[in-house]
Amino acid sequence: MILILTEPQDPHANVVESKLRQRGARVCRFDWTEFPGTASLSTEYRAGRKHVWLKRGGEKLDLTECTAGWLRRPGKPLLPGSISDPLLRSYSEDECLRILQDTWNALDIPWLPGPIHAIRRADNKQLQLQLATELGLEIPPSLITSDPDEFLDFYRQHGGHIIDKFPSNIMAASQRTGGTLMRYTQAVTTRDVGYARRLRHSPMLFQAQVPKRFELRITVTGDEVLAAEIHSQATRRTQLDWRHYDWGHTPYRVHRLPGAIRRACLELVARLGLRFGAIDMIVTPDGRYVFLEINPNGQWLWIQDETGLPIADALCTTLLDPAGHSPSPYPSPALEAHP
């Protein structure tokens, strides 16, 4: 049985679940919002055996029968409205989330993209840049700082041609809406320089601008490495950050990675303790590959739709046969792609 933890309206999971069932797999799909209102979880140790019981809608499943799990995009535990006391509600939410996370952490199965602790560690941008450098990948000149003087010196070194990012892609939740806000990559302006002192209270990640021929979204799952070109320079809207999507004007194409870059991608994912990762790179006009970041649970369905890359099939294969599809820094020569 394959366990998929995600929200009900998740098109990525819909595609993979359908393919898994077509291959004859049993699938348990569970969203954390079902707990504790409409679903219960119990972990039982009896006669030397462990059982993890999930009960909902009249069914009772033993999750220790699962052979692999996909921590895709679950919601948060949803408590009934009858718990109105703020302190009690906060305590209950924290305890429910802790029980869910502890249950999955103690479930002895291989996970995509990886165990919860590995996913959290892999989100560390400083660690990403460090590992990429150790693996021989080029990275942009980078500075993470809260020091205005260090920022100004970096700005001068690169003639003002730098970009800034938050150390985390997701801003704090809005108190008014309760949602999260995403900030795109932005060019540093002379106006930003005038407010350099604000760095004291809000550290930032700065990088030198790298000239782009096109960008790459490289999806690693198990021992599959599937790369797609994003021709972000074809339209003004996407030149700085392709996540501004300009559908119909941005070409997407399959890309054949050099063997050394492919091996580095596999090793990076493995060193982060993951079995899946979405890696962003730049290919410069003179053909250099420059690493930007890795998202341990990045989106991929759009790139599959645009290029035909079999990402969903690769995910299914990894989930169905995780032991036979673990990342290796030394893939067989027959699997290597060359420009």
Chain segment 51-80, per-residue pLDDT in tens: 999 999 999 999 999 999 999 999 999 998
Residue in this structure with the two tokens 């893939």, named with its chain if needed: 331
| Shared domain check, 100 and 13 | yes
| Shared domain check, 234 and 199 | no
Q: Which residues contact 6 (CB under 8 A, 6 or more apart)?
A: 12, 13, 29, 31, 70, 72, 73, 74
117, pLDDT greater than 50: yes
Specify the pLDDT at position 324: 55
Q: Report if residue 31 sits inside a domain.
A: yes
Whole-model pTM above 0.95? Answer: no
Determine the Cα–Cα distance for residues 105 and 53; give it in Å rounded to an integer.
Answer: 15
Q: Tell which wins on pLDDT, 325 or 188.
A: 188
Specify the pLDDT at position 279: 97
Q: Report if residue 120 sits inside a domain.
A: no
| Shared domain check, 293 and 182 | no
Question: pLDDT class for 329, splitting at 50, 70, 90?
Answer: very low
Specify the pLDDT at position 273: 96
| Shared domain check, 258 and 182 | no
Specify the pLDDT at position 270: 96
Averaged confidence pLDDT in the chain: 88
Specify the pLDDT at position 194: 82
Q: Name beta bridge partners: 104.
A: none
Specify the pLDDT at position 335: 31
Specify the pLDDT at position 182: 64
| Shared domain check, 294 and 181 | no
Mean pLDDT of 314-318: 97
336, pLDDT greater than 50: no
245, pLDDT greater than 90: no
Q: Report if residue 98 sits inside a domain.
A: yes
Local structure of residue 199 (DSSP, 8 states): G
109, 126, 158 - which closes a domain: 109
Q: Which residues contact 249 (CB under 8 A, 6 or more apart)?
A: 234, 235, 237
Specify the pLDDT at position 174: 41
Question: pLDDT class for 239, splitting at 50, 70, 90?
Answer: low
Specify the pLDDT at position 102: 95
Q: How far is CA 245 from CA 55, 73, 94, 122, 174, in A?
A: 41, 22, 36, 26, 24
Specify the pLDDT at position 156: 95
| Shared domain check, 322 and 224 | yes
CA 81 centroid distance within chain: 32
Query: Structurally, how many domains does the chain consist of?
Result: 3
Per-residue burial over 190-212, b if 16 or more Cβ lie within 10 Å, else e, is eebeeebeebeeeebbbbbbbeb
Mean pLDDT of 211-225: 95
| Shared domain check, 238 and 173 | no
Tens-place pLDDT, residues 279-289: 999 999 999 99
| Shared domain check, 315 and 230 | yes
Specify the pLDDT at position 167: 73
Domain span including residue 290: 214-335
